A and B are shown apart, each in its own frame.
Chain A
Amino acid sequence: MSNEVPLWEVFIRPRNGLAHKHVGSLHATDEVMALQAARDVYTRRGEGNSIWVVPSVAITASDPDQAAENFEPTGDKIYRHPTFYEIPEEVGHM
């Protein structure tokens, strides 16, 4: 048995209607302890009304070395944006 206590990522929803947002991480032996610790560590001042905890090892991240290939092409696809298209003023707001 490894005695490293696993790492968890903590997500909190500030209030209904908003998405859960990553706030930080913590160590806990299981999901029950992780939720309790998240409550103590990350919600001492009304930061939210719902907590998600996810084992850090369960997260797959994109490779920062590939950030250029992944995200830069969207920069030159300006035709994906509404301002690319010319609509006469008489037509009104569209």
Chain B
Amino acid sequence: MYSQGLIGSDTSSEETPEFLAAFQKRIDAEEKVEPNDPMPSGYRRTLVRQIGQHAHSEIVGMLPEGNWITRAPTLRRKAALLAKVQDEGGHGLYLYSAAETLGVTRKQMTEELLEGRAKYSSIFNYPTLSWADMGTIGWLVDGAAIMNQIPLCRCSFGPYARAMIRVCKEESFHQRQGYEIVMKLAQGTPAQREMAQDSLNRWWWPSIMMFGPHDSDSQHSDQNMEWKIKRFSNDELRQKFIDATVPQAEYLGLTLPDPDLKWNEDKGGYDHGKIDWDEFWAVVKGHGPMARDRIRDRRKAWEDGAWVREAALAHAEKRQARKVAAE
């Protein structure tokens, strides 16, 4: 699922201008960079941070939906939600592996997350209050993630691009099952319709914030575009997402909660109202309604699993010792 515009990165590099120019030439020729290739330290640092944030987002992203698995209304919905949450866990693992090729370990990244030092997508610091939220998340949050992730399949860093190709293949199911949930509710009883609309009201703005700050306010975007880590700016991706989503909402007969949303003939896209960036930054900094719970839950999962990890390691050592003794 769930990448967000990169939050806070330092793209400065210490290498010589010749080195940087040679690297840029490779990038401009659309050559992929592989883990052992020479690369600017800023490029490496930016990727470790971005892939790490992306991986954490997948893992934390399992929590808001995991919250509803036991309460899914039918077996069909439960099976789908379970499969989706399992996918998100898988996405986290592909991404941690991609980051590890840059010389950071999954253990370090996990520790950073558990100690509250790592960022993850702001969207997961909102609570999932009703079953309709399972639909809205699939439709909007996975939908926004797809917009972000499709261009990442062409990212200049090979392992990240390859991980994204796998992820994107799996996302379409996430969005479609979500839209189907919302559609069922929108076509249901008045109470169900209301539940769908309420959910949309709560998730619309956080979803369009997922693309990150406006281009005019994001300092590192230019260097990341030049290195072809990013292919489209935050605002370009947000625009694509809004243009794709408006007709989907119209089909459902639901209203997007933005009175200023209207078609702009000149630009061939929708204009939207003002985004509450104070809310965005507050949530990114961990003041979202659920921020404390998310880290607490991840920590609990990690601690509760400690004996399993220890037992597995002890078992592996014992088997190894037996093997050696038998030789």
- Chain A positions near chain B (C-beta within 8 angstroms): 1, 3-5, 7, 23-27, 29-30, 33, 40-41, 44-45, 61, 63-65
Contacts and interface: CB of A to CB of B under 8 A. Distances in A.
18 contacts: A3-B309, A3-B310, A3-B313, A24-B97, A24-B166, A25-B97, A26-B93, A30-B319, A30-B320, A33-B312, A33-B316, A40-B90, A44-B86, A44-B170, A45-B169, A61-B36, A64-B34, A64-B37
A7 B100 contact: yes
B97 A29 contact: no
Nearest to B319: A30
What interface size band does chain B fall in? 20 to 34
A45 B166 CA distance: 11
Contacts, number: 53
Contact of B97 (A1, A26, A61): A26
Given A40-B86, A41-B93, A44-B90, 4 more contacts: A3-B309, A30-B316, A41-B94, A64-B38
B315 interface: yes
A29 B316 contact: yes
Contacts of A25: 97, 100
B163 interface: yes
B106 interface: yes
Contact of B313 (A7, A29, A45): A29
Contacts of B94: 24, 41
A66 to B, nearest CB: 11
Interface of B: 34, 36-38, 83, 86-87, 90, 93-94, 97, 100, 105-107, 162-163, 166, 169-170, 309-310, 312-313, 315-317, 319-320
A44 to B, nearest CB: 7
Contacts of A41: 90, 93-94
A1 B317 contact: yes
A15 B316 CA distance: 31
Contacts of B83: 44
A29 B312 contact: yes
Nearest to A3: B313
Question: What are the nearest 4 A-B pairs in CB distance?
Answer: A30-B316, A29-B316, A29-B312, A25-B97
A82 to B, nearest CB: 28
A29 B105 CA distance: 15
A1 B315 CA distance: 12
Contacts of A7: 100
B266 to A, nearest CB: 43
A1 B37 contact: no
A3 B100 CA distance: 17
A25 B107 CA distance: 15
Nearest to B163: A24
Given A3-B313, A64-B34, A27 B106 contact: yes
Contacts of B162: 24
Contacts of B163: 24
Contacts of B86: 40, 44
Contacts of A63: 36
Contacts of A5: 309, 312-313
B93 A30 contact: no
A61 B101 CA distance: 13
Given A7-B100, A41-B93, A44-B86, A30 B315 contact: yes
Contacts of A44: 83, 86-87, 90, 170
Nearest to A7: B100
A4 B105 contact: yes
A77 to B, nearest CB: 23
